[in-house]
Structure 1
């Protein structure tokens, strides 16, 4: 007998690009969400401000050949605003997020949609990531996040509980929480905090869903006074909204001060790879 066809929920997938994205990496990222075992019913590309000619050629090609929906901003507004634009224009209730230089595993959406069908109460469905340098076969680490709702919410009080490039969102809850908003390098974490206050239900699945490109620049982006001030400001917001206690606020800010503001990039990179990540299989 032939296998019964599964009627998966229709969903949108969104991927953004901006001037500093590598055109070849962007193409690999786009094709990894197009060539899925369960294809998106809609792919949205957000173009955040002016982009170089070679990158724009890729965007135009994907619009022509794959019917991608292109949403362009006249100026660079940041990743959070690009995601907000996609949420506002998406046709479907479920929206999958993807980054411009990472690679989704071929059955990522199939796995997430099966969970969504079994548990329609979940508002965010994320998963694990494996980090690589140059080639996905060169895995240097894995960021593991908690699985069940209560564990995700407990983890959220300390750190961001999702790998944002893996998530599948219920758009009605995202909009109920005020959609993505601008918050330097923390737009996703801020959204999850606001969704928490609205009663959202969270989960991560144990499988690796995305291979994430890493390097020295990533550790630079996760450090410096501007990054620390953004994180400290978010911790204060969480304190004011009773997500964390005052002692936890002090502890969280102190750790971030040491790691993000005072620590040199090379040591921060070592800490992330050796202490904050599990070792990948090379």
Structure 2
């Protein structure tokens, strides 16, 4: 888990608690403080470390490096081969890690196991949509050519395989898409459990963020790198290029309508 100064302290507490309350307990909870935090955030992290000094490993960075670099540093400090990702404002269901560990036990060749997510507004009782991702390795490989086949906060990955392909790399945004592409195209077998095992905190700001030129151009840049590695075709790249330009230029009402109809399963 990476934490930076603008995190909501209440959300961070809920997120940490959801991982501590898994049906299979962790013996290694790595939190990377990505730059200087607020006193309130520091107090929360220090409290958990004080209560669980044998579980928590707190890595403090002197400056904010961004999510990708912070996660790469965190992964290198993980002592277990299987590493579960978690965002600092989402909530994992209690059985999430157990079900993912079961998949790795059933198929030792797996390198990535993710899940679907349920998106909620304001409180966990207000589920508004579900992001369903492809389940099988074959479906994931095909889907990967144009969109990320994983919900990033849900993935559990083999540490050695992440490091082998270069980790999250240097991209400032969409680092997860770039990482997943390199893993899948280096014969890392993957699967998604076809159940929502994480509650994803969403709001109107997510649409605003997706419409920013910074977000859209980053998506195009990552897809271009995927094209250069010959992991997609020029048609796939143009599909993403046109799609991101449309998202940037389209009015917000139209973007929401299309997103709800084609990219999310509404509740």
Instruction: Please tell me the TM-score bracket, short chain as reference.
Output: over 0.9
Match of 1:10 in 2: none
Aligned-partner Cα distance in 2 for 1:271–1:133: 19
Matched, 1:47 2:54: no
Match of 2:264 in 1: 277
Q: TM-score, normalised by structure 2?
A: 0.96
Give the stretch that moved more between structures: 195-204 or 267-276: 267-276
| Conserved 8 A contact 1:176-1:198 | no
Query: SS where residue 199 of structure 1 aligns?
Result: coil
Aligned-partner Cα distance in 1 for 2:253–2:32: 33
Match of 2:147 in 1: 159
How many corresponding residue pairs? 265
| Conserved 8 A contact 2:32-2:60 | yes
Match of 2:42 in 1: 56
Match of 1:23 in 2: 9
Give the stretch that moved more between structures: 154-163 or 180-189: 180-189
Structure 1: state its 5+ residue gaps. 1-14
- Over aligned residue pairs, what C-alpha RMSD do you find? 1.2
Q: Write the mapping of 1:86-105 to structure 2, written as runs, cut at 5 A.
A: 86-105=74-93
Cα distance, 1:266 vs structure 2: 4.5
Q: TM-score, normalised by structure 1?
A: 0.91
Matched, 1:78 2:60: no
Query: SS where residue 196 of structure 2 aligns?
Result: strand
Runs of 4+ in 1 over 4 A off after TM superposition: none
Match of 2:137 in 1: 149
Cα distance, 1:199 vs structure 2: 1.4
CA deviations over 1:81-102 (Å, ceiling 9, x no partner): 1110111111010000000100
Match of 2:225 in 1: 237
Aligned-partner Cα distance in 1 for 2:35–2:253: 31
Q: Write the mapping of 1:109-258 to structure 2, written as runs, cut at 5 A.
A: 109-258=97-246
Aligned-partner Cα distance in 1 for 2:243–2:196: 28
CA deviations over 1:228-270 (Å, ceiling 9, x no partner): 21111112111111111112211221111101x2124454334
Query: SS where residue 85 of structure 2 aligns?
Result: strand
